[in-house]
């Protein structure tokens, strides 16, 4: 029995295929105007301590279309902003709602909330992980490329929560992953130590973006400046060789697909011609947040 989704490792590998199959069915049903009312009478509490477009709207719409209801709390307008603990907040919200989504800074905030809650808690983003996003990315890849286990997946850019979660996905599923980040901006040392990266043959960490995307079937990137980080010109200069542009794509397979979890800083981590080009699946990726999160909500709240 799965109670929470705090990291990808909370999911057994065999559960992923069920999530993707259900997301595909829900996507098809929506296009035919037939949204199943599987969460009728259920309420989801959304806690947002960071700005959000896709996470907020997709979870809100998901609950509405499945027959449920959502209540959004921002830290400045809730007692979290006045010092109430995450554990106590989890206990209280469990008396009102059937599930909680939290978008916060420290991963420990997510874990403390889940420790206090008796209802499912979903990590909508922390500084360390973004499981809902990577589940969506995996689903998007499956739609286009089918079997991810036969693919070369690459990530180019900052070793942030997206990169960390891609590492977890590769450990969980076993596909080939190559990550290119500048020195000092690699994925979390805690995660690399936890998975013993030196003995994990399917995962390669490099500083060379061309090496990372060589023969890649999928290329991922993300903003160089995560929310709350200072936009420093020095960091921008460091990351310029890691821009996903036409020149970099020449090293990948001709039919490689490009993903970006958004929001994008066009002209920095990705160029307009790639983002809006024929290899981009970024807008499908954004839409799929809705369908995958519906499947997650059904799994945890039904």
* Radius of gyration over every alpha carbon of the chain, rounded to an integer in angstroms: 19
pLDDT of residue 194: 66
Is residue 258 within 8 Å of 60, Cβ to Cβ? Answer: no
Active site residue 130: yes
Catalytic residue among 54, 98, 251, 289: 289
pLDDT band at 189 (very low <50, low <70, confident <90, very high): confident
Active site residue 289: yes
By CB neighbour count within 10 A (0-12 exposed, 13-18 middle, 19+ buried), where does 38 fall?
middle
Active site residue 132: no
Closest by CA to 69, choosing from 95, 33, 99, is: 99
Catalytic residue among 22, 98, 130, 178: 130
The C-alpha atoms of residue 102 and residue 236 are separated, in whole angstroms, by 30
Catalytic residue among 133, 142, 243, 279: 133
Cα 100 to Cα 2, 19, 115, 251: the distances in Å are 14, 19, 12, 42
Catalytic residue among 22, 54, 98, 103: 103
Query: Domains in the chain and their CATH numbers?
Result: 8-130+288-301 (3.40.50.1370), 131-285 (3.40.50.1370)
pLDDT per residue over 247-289, tens digit each? 999 999 999 999 999 999 999 999 999 999 999 999 999 999 9
Is residue 129 within 8 Å of 123, Cβ to Cβ? Answer: yes
Active site residue 79: no
pLDDT per residue over 108-152, tens digit each? 999 999 999 999 999 999 999 999 999 999 999 999 999 999 999
The C-alpha atoms of residue 141 and residue 217 are separated, in whole angstroms, by 9
Mean pLDDT, range 183-210, rounded to an integer: 83
Q: Which residues pair with 266 in a beta bridge?
A: 270
Mean pLDDT, range 220-242, rounded to an integer: 85
Catalytic residue among 54, 261, 285, 293: 261
Is residue 111 within 8 Å of 6, Cβ to Cβ? Answer: yes
pTM for the model: 0.95
Mean pLDDT, range 239-252, rounded to an integer: 98
The C-alpha atoms of residue 160 and residue 157 are separated, in whole angstroms, by 9
pLDDT of residue 128: 96
């Amino acid at each position: 029995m799965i109670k929470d989704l705090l990291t990808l490792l909370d999911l057994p590998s065999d559960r992923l295929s069920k999530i993707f199959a259900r997301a595909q069915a829900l996507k098809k049903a929506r296009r035919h105007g037939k949204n199943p009312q599987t969460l009728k009478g259920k309420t989801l509490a959304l806690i947002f301590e960071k700005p959000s477009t896709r996470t907020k709207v997709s979870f809100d719409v998901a609950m509405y279309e499945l027959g449920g209801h959502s209540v959004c709390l921002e830290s400045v307008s809730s007692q979290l902003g006045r010092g109430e603990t995450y554990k106590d907040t989890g206990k209280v919200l469990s008396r009102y709602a059937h599930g909680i989504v939290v978008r916060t800074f420290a991963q420990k905030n997510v874990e403390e909330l889940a420790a206090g809650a008796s209802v499912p808690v979903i990590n909508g983003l922390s500084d360390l992980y973004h499981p809902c996003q990577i589940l969506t990315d995996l689903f998007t890849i499956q739609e286009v490329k089918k079997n991810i286990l036969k693919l070369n997946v690459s990530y180019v850019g900052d070793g942030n929560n997206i990169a960390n979660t891609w590492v977890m996905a590769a450990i969980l599923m076993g596909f080939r992953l190559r990550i290119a980040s500048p020195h000092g901006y690699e994925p979390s040392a805690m995660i690399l130590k936890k998975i013993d990266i030196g003995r994990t043959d399917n995962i390669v960490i490099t500083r060379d973006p061309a090496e990372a995307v060589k023969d890649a079937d999928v290329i991922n990137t993300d903003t160089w400046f995560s929310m709350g980080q200072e936009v420093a010109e020095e960091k921008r200069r460091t990351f310029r060789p890691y821009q996903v542009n036409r020149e970099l794509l020449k090293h990948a397979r001709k039919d490689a697909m490009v993903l970006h979890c958004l929001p994008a800083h066009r002209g920095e981590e990705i160029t307009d011609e790639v983002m809006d080009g024929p290899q981009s699946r970024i807008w499908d990726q954004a839409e799929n947040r809705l369908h995958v999160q519906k499947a997650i909500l059904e799994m945890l709240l039904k």
